[in-house]
């Protein structure tokens, strides 16, 4: 089984899609796919589908959705052409367990698992100051994303939590990949990307710090100071907060340095996060 959730939901058995079109069966499959090879309790599935107000027929309706998914799985198994003693049934793939259901991936692929594996390698490379290796691994992890997680699935309480977790993991990996690129001197190459990111994440201090450094090291000290002023205006106006001490130190460093000789000692991680 191949599972994709970092974008549109895509689940394939033997290369054949088993992703339903109806909204609630898609929710069920999405939650099972996110927790592949683990039992998802009926109570969790019920809360996902109907929040705090499940109908009296909730369990029967859930069983109907499971049956619909198994019909798709059975068709995919048949199309896959497997035969003999190792032939799986739909119930072997979407397993009924005491108190819940489990999607058996049979050791197949999962973009979430691969993302987490590659990101972990990237973080370890960063810790070892192998910035080239970190940038490579983190870029590969981020390339697995084709859009927002489960972008085409209506999300209830549990899926919303999982989507937020995944998006936060994506942002952390992006932050570290940019930091690795800064260490590698790719300042000008980062400018267009960071222009978009600071517009999207208007109060994210570390992204703004990275943008300031990239501008400053590209000889654009005035633009770097303008980024600081825009962020400060947003933080004060929207949240009633001043920029962190670390970001103020970065602004001071840019003010005091020679625009033609930006300090390579400046580091957005240490300046912002040590505050």
Residue 228 lies in a domain: yes
For residue 219, pLDDT beyond 60: yes
Torsion sign (Cα): 216, 218, 219, 223? negative
Residue 136 belongs to a domain: no
Range of the domain at 54: 2-108
Retrieve residue 257's tokens: 């340095």
pTM score of the predicted model: 0.87
Domain holding 38: CATH number?
1.10.10.10
Does some domain include residue 170?
no
* Extended beta strands in the chain, E state: 2-4, 10-13, 16-17, 40-41, 94-97, 100-103, 109-110
How do residues 174-191 score in pLDDT, each as one tens digit? 999 999 999 999 999 999
The structure tokens listed for 78 are 């048949």
Reference 267, options 135, 189, 176, 197; nearest CA is 176
Q: How many domains does the chain have?
A: 2
Q: What is the pLDDT of residue 267?
A: 58
Q: State whether 98 and 196 are in the same domain.
A: no
Q: What is the pLDDT of residues 10-64, one digit of tens each?
A: 999 989 999 999 999 999 999 999 999 999 999 999 999 999 888 999 999 999 9
Which CATH number belongs to the domain containing residue 229 in this structure? Answer: 1.25.40.10
Residue 238 is assigned to a structural domain of this protein: yes
Cα radius of gyration (the chain): 24
Q: Given 81, 108, 135, which residue is the final one in a domain?
A: 108
For residue 174 the two structure tokens come to 């992006």
Residue 221 to residue 49: CA distance in whole angstroms: 52
Structural domain contains residue 176:
no
pLDDT in tens, 137-164: 999 999 999 999 999 999 999 999 999 9
The predicted model gives 245-259 an average pLDDT of: 86
Residue at which a domain ends, from 78, 108, 138: 108
Closest by alpha carbon to 163, among 20, 58, 264, 34?
34
The CA distance from 115 to 34, in Å, is 13
Tokens of 49: 């589908």
pLDDT at position 84 is 44
Residue 141 inside a domain? The answer is: no
Is the pLDDT reported for residue 263 higher than 60? no
Q: Which of 33-47, 198-212, 220-234, 244-258 has the lowest mean pLDDT?
A: 244-258
Which of 58, 92, 108 terminates a domain? The answer is 108
Residue 248 has a pLDDT of 94
Q: Is there a domain that residue 137 lies in?
A: no
Measured in whole angstroms, how far is the alpha carbon of residue 267 from the centre of its chain?
Answer: 25
In a domain, 163, yes or no: no
């Amino acid at each position: 089984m191949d599972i994709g959730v970092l974008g549109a939901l895509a689940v394939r058995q033997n290369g054949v899609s088993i992703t339903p079109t109806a909204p609630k069966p898609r929710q069920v499959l999405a939650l099972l796919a996110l927790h592949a090879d683990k039992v998802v309790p009926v109570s969790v599935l019920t809360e996902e589908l109907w929040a705090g107000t499940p109908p009296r027929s909730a369990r029967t309706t859930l069983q109907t959705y499971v049956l619909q998914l198994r019909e798709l799985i059975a068709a995919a198994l048949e199309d896959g052409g497997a035969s003999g003693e190792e032939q799986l049934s739909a119930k072997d793939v979407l397993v009924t367990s005491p108190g819940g259901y489990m999607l058996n991936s049979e050791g197949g692929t999962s973009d979430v698992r691969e993302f987490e594996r590659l990101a972990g390698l990237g973080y370890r490379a960063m810790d070892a100051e192998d910035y080239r290796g970190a940038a490579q691994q983190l870029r590969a992890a981020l390339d697995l994303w084709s859009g927002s997680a489960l972008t085409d699935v209506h999300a209830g309480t549990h899926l919303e939590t999982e989507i937020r977790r995944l998006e936060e993991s994506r942002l952390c990996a992006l932050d570290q990949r940019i930091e690795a690129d800064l260490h590698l001197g790719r300042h000008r190459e980062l400018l267009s990307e960071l222009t978009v990111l600071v517009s999207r994440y208007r109060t994210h201090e570390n992204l703004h710090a990275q943008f300031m450094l990239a501008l400053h090291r590209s000889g654009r000290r005035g633009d770097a100071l303008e980024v600081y002023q825009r962020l400060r205006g947003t933080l004060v106006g929207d949240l009633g907060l001043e920029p962190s001490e670390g970001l103020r130190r970065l602004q001071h460093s840019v003010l005091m340095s020679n625009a033609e000789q930006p300090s390579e000692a400046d580091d957005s991680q240490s300046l912002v996060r040590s505050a």
